[in-house]
Amino acid sequence: GESVGLHLPTLSVQEGDNSIINCAYSNSASDYFIWYKQESGKGPQFIIDIRSNMDKRQGQRVTVLLNKTVKHLSLQIAATQPGDSAVYFCAEQLSGGSYIPTFGRGTSLIVHP
């Protein structure tokens, strides 16, 4: 698969602020995207996903936006909390077949109390 990149390696925010983590993907054929959160000492955990037939999907305090025109994905976290401090990865996938998901390099989110 083609590479997936993150614009900012580290993002520092104050508790209560909204956070936005960005991701660029290269494969225009990718049709499924996932955000994962990895806390220190743990494996990545699923946060939210979105398919290419959608532009926006909301979860609890998180929203994923997909802009297929510019091949850009973002994760918005509302009212960021210290427990949100982690590394966030985006993954692009092509559903069906044997396509291997490609992970971005990750963005470290640091939330200051």
Partner 1 sequence: KAGVTQTPRYLIKTRGQQVTLSCSPISGHRSVSWYQQTPGQGLQFLFEYFSETQRNKGNFPGRFSGRQFSNSRSEMNVSTLELGDSALYLCASSLKSSNEKLFFGSGTQLSVL
**What are the backbone angles phi and psi of residue 82, rounded to the nearest 5°?**
-55, -30
* Region binding partner 1 by CB under 8 A among candidate stretches 21-29, 61-69, 70-78, 95-103: 95-103
Q: Which of 103, 107, 109, 111 binds partner 1 (CB under 8 A)?
A: 103
Token pair of 10 as six digits: 């580290």
Q: Which of 53, 83, 96, 113 binds partner 1 (CB under 8 A)?
A: 96
Contact track, partner 1, 12-31, x by CB under 8 A: --------------------
Question: Exposed/middle/buried for 69, CB within 10 Å: 0-12, 13-18, 19+?
Answer: exposed
